[in-house]
Structure 1
Amino acid sequence: MNTFNSRISQIYPTLGEASQHVADYFRHNYASVAGYSLRDLSKKIGVSTATISRFGRQLGFSSFDQLKLALLKEIDATTQGDVDTNDNSLSSARKTINANISALEGTLSFLTQEQIDHSVDLLLNADKVAIFGLGSSNVLAQAAYHTFLRLPLNLVVDADYHMQLMDANKLTNHDVAIVISHTGNDTDILALVDLLAAHYVPTIAVTSYATSPLAKRVKNAFFSISEDTRYRSDALISMTSQLAIFDVLFTELVRRLGKRSDETISLVHQAVARKHH
């Protein structure tokens, strides 16, 4: 993970809401921040210049110019690790994998034991676990469903949005919903989350933006960290981090379930093995 994002992850829990909004913008767009004046950046993010200056001081910089200088130095170092037209296939592969490693390290820095334990408790005690996501997030929902099928959980997932709304409308406070959205501001997803809230459904969110409307609507949110590269958007890279979050939950569920998970995993393996004989 780059040094700048490492600094942000260290102070993030102590920041106020406005500073967290600035931090989210910096985390996902730090390579372009140095090109703005303080006034233009404040308009771009939608906060006051004082908020940005305060955020810079919280990171340890005495002025916005000092912050920009540090960013430029880091950009110069990290762009050497970005894929460009002069790369061969092996160096491109190395840089691509390193970008994924950086995203995973950043995601790990935002995980807490309390958050993981609480989510696992919810999943273990749920009558039903429904997983929601639209577009590329539905691909992740299907992947999470495929992973959790190996556990003794009652799972629900649908690709069609109207079907998802019907699923959400049938859930109760004895169930759990997992909602995936990279930006956390999709209006359809937010409408679904509001429906879940109306039914008092405990909800776990997976998103990349801690100050997004989705993150604000739920009590338990996991944050996937990613950065734009020349050939891959942060939304694409965030998929790696989000899959890792589900892997973390799966591993802890297996550990907590003990023999119960062993039995279910064995049954799944037997079913698949019969297909290949």
Structure 2
Amino acid sequence: MQNVLLRLREVQPSLSSTERQIAQFILENPDETTTLTIRDLARRSFSSPSSVVRICRVIGFQGYKELRHALTLELATLGENGSHREKDITPQDSLQEIVDKVTHKNIQSLLDTQRLLLLDELEQCVELIANARTVLLFGIGSSLCVAKDTYLKFLRLDKPCVVNEDSHSQLLQARNATAQDVGIVFSYSGQTMEMIQCIKEMKAGGAPVIAVTRYYPSEVAQLADHVLYVAANESLFRNGAMSSRLSQLNVVDILYTAYASRNHEDTMRRLTKTHIYKPGDPEVLTQP
């Protein structure tokens, strides 16, 4: 399934005003859209047929006919679940409403990310990690937190990883990368200049690059060899740092688990060896 509505929601903030009008109309009237010709849709969204074709191509379709067909299949498969509408947080919300809305947004982001992940792409990424000499991790801001979490997870399995906190150190890290390494770049926006520069340096050294980023034809996505897309239903108060972080962490958990599952016995042995026991743990209590 090609997830027309999800793709439109993800790219909508970066579209031109005319393209946003078209996207908004489709998102609010998905059933009606499946019955409209390209000229009808242009008229209803106060745009032009050429603008409709342009937005189709932005989200990965050759034209409106292909998009309409995919949308019809999506609505038949997902029904109401496919066209969810987000309620943003407002200053008038009660504490209970904030709890409900933030939780719903985070859950929806995880479900949307699940729909964006391509299994073939994921399998190739796991293979790259397994065969790499070193996993080089990159990220700034909240994405750096995700990079650190990735480092700690693979450290448990004795997989060599490197993560540096400042952008200059990350740039040096990228320049030292070779074809024996693999870089994983976390950038929700896909437009962080420091990450773009690091990717270019890694590719110059022959290192393959995996990008974990939002669904949008950003420079990060275009430069990377493999892309794992994440979704985010961000709040007005914390755009780009709440749901997106959880979605990225979820992708890390999937990569880690898939990598660990390749050799279950060795994984269990290493997890047991690297477990740090604490007072009260059953293993500690049974020791003489």
The letter for the 1-side match of 2:228 is: F
Partner of 2:12: 26
Instruction: Please say if 1:49 is aligned against 2:51.
Output: yes
Structure 1 residue 168 and structure 2 residue 174: aligned?
yes
Larger gyration radius, structure 1 or structure 2: 2
Conserved in 2, the CA contact under 8 Å of 1:28 and 1:226?
A: no
**TM score, norm. by length of structure 2:** 0.71
Does 1:78 pair with 2:80? no
Counterparts in 2 of 1:169 and 1:53: CA distance versus 1, 3 Å:
closer
Match of 1:60 in 2: 68
Equivalence for 1:19 = none
Matched, 1:263 2:272: no
Partner of 2:278: 273
Root mean square deviation, CA, Å: 3.5
Distance 2:65 2:98 in 1: 36
Residue 154 of structure 1 corresponds to which residue in structure 2?
160
Question: Which residue of 4, 8, 18 corresponds with 2:5?
Answer: 8
For the 8 Å contact 1:24–1:211, the answer to whether it is kept is: no
CA distance in 2: counterparts of 1:218 and 1:201, whole angstroms: 10
| Counterpart Cα distance in 1 of 2:278 and 2:46 | 57
How far has the Cα of 1:264 moved from its partner? 1.6
1:126 aligns with 2:132: yes
RCO comparison, higher one (Cα < 8 Å, 6+): 1
Q: Secondary structure at 2:238's aligned position in 1?
A: coil
Output the TM-score relative to the length of structure 1.
Answer: 0.74
Contact 1:184 1:209 in 2 (8 A): no
| Separation (CA, whole Å) in 1 of partners of 2:103 and 2:122 | 26
Q: Tell me, in whole angstroms, the C-alpha distance in 1 between the residues paired with 2:161 and 2:172.
A: 15
The whole-number CA distance in structure 1 between the counterparts of 2:175 and 2:90 is 48
Q: Deviations over 1:201-222 (max 9, x none)?
A: 0111111143011111112011
| Between 249-258 and 82-91, the greater mean CA deviation after superposition | 82-91
Change over 3 Å in CA distance of 1:41–1:138 after alignment to 2: farther
Aligned partners of 2:195 and 2:97: how far apart in 1? 39
Q: 1:197 & 1:243 partners in 2: Cα distance?
A: 25
Residue 58 of structure 1 and its aligned partner are, at CA, apart by 4.7
Q: Aligned match of 1:143 in 144, 149, 159?
A: 149
User: Which structure 1 residue ranges, 5 or more long, are not aligned?
Assistant: 13-21, 43-47, 62-73
Matched with 1:180 is 186
Q: Aligned residue pairs: how many?
A: 241
One-letter amino acid matched to 1:26: Q
Contact 2:182 2:209 in 1 (8 A): yes
Q: Tell me if structure 2 keeps the 8 A contact 1:103–1:241.
A: yes
Q: What do residues 35-68 of structure 1 show as CA deviations (whole Å, max 9, x unaligned)? A: 99979998xxxxx62534756665439xxxxxxx
The percent identity for this pair of structures is 26
- Indicate how the Cα distance of structure 1 residues 84 and 209 shifts in structure 2: closer, same or farther if over 3 A, else same: same
- 1:200 is paired with a residue whose SS is coil
Q: Distance between the aligned counterparts of 1:213 and 1:41, measured in 2?
A: 30
